[in-house]
Amino acid sequence: MRKHKNINALFQIDSLSQLNPETDSSLDIIKEGLKLGLNIWITNPDNLTFYAGRISFVASKVKDSSLKLCKSKKIYLEKFDFFFIRQDPPFDMKYISNCYLLELHKKFNKKPFFINDPTGIKNFTEKIFPLYFHNLMPKTMVSSSVKDLVYMFKKHNTLVFKPLYCKGGEDIYKFSRKDKHALRTYENLLCKYKSPVVIQKFIEKVKYGDKRVIFVNGKTVGAVNRIPKSGAFKANLHLGGTARKTGLSKKEIDICNLLGGVLRENKLFFVGIDLIDQKLTEINVTSPTGIVQLRELYNVNVSKLIWGELESIV
């Protein structure tokens, strides 16, 4: 994207104090936008108001790459060219309500362009979206039934339990068929989250890595292999996983090609998918990460690619 001081972008993100300036993808995109001379603002969902067909935010303009902020002010959403929905899950009623209100804004206003579209985020959450492609996944069940858990253990010696709407490996557990704590943990997850639980066959080869593939406007722009630390099964980088270079097999490329069209169709512009042993496990449409690691490993500036793709939309 050429330097363009008339472009305005608003980022709906978590508090800056919660974000790691060295590794956070949102901050990387913001800093790249500032280099290009764009006007970058930040806000959060609590600062949204819908009235008479318009959304306003209390937002702050970012002064410079140090991420110092100007004094906050009320500003209307249609004044922006781009709006990035980048706050982390849990994908709860607060998150869904935010998407509903942003959808209403789209009904009455032509601007901004959403990254990602609130309808797409609402309809295709991280752990439910892959179920549309269940034949590409490890054997996976979503249930609240103890009988279903027993059935899955009869089929598979080791299972992973996942809550539907969390992030970053939170409350994800692995149990063998003989583990006496499995049933209690399953019931505790049902009670804690008041929603069904993902029961998935454990993939032993996760020890060789969990690939994060980044898509921009439906096209793959890079992949990072996240290796779990010794003795662990979660490959999340903030949990001790290590980022390594990787390639994609023909099967993985076919999965990416299949997903690319679906992402574009649903206006999911910036997405990260997870692949373990050539199987699809997650599609992150809320706040995908990994672009800092792509730059460090391959010298690929995904943030610059994002702004370049967006240039044609203005």
- The answer to whether position 308 is within a domain reads no
* Residue 5: predicted pLDDT: 62
Contacts of 150 (CB under 8 A, 6+ apart): none
- The answer to whether position 242 is within a domain reads yes
Number of structural domains, the chain? 3
Indicate if 180 and 249 belong to the same structural domain.
no
For residue 219, give the CATH number of its domain: 3.30.470.20
Element (H, E) at 276: strand 270-276
pTM of the model: 0.95
Contacts of 184 (CB under 8 A, 6+ apart): none
* Residue 21: predicted pLDDT: 86
Residues in the chain predicted with pLDDT less than 50, given as ranges, are none
* Residue 4: predicted pLDDT: 61
Indicate if 71 and 171 belong to the same structural domain.
no
* Residue 232: predicted pLDDT: 86
For residue 40, give the CATH number of its domain: 3.40.50.20
* Residue 313: predicted pLDDT: 78
Tens digits of residue pLDDT in 200-251: 999 999 999 999 999 999 999 999 999 999 888 988 888 788 999 999 999 9
Looking only at the bridges linking them, the beta strands covering 210-216 and 270-276 are antiparallel
- The answer to whether position 235 is within a domain reads yes
- Distances in whole angstroms, Cα of residue 52 to Cα of each of 10, 101, 105, 108: 21, 12, 10, 9
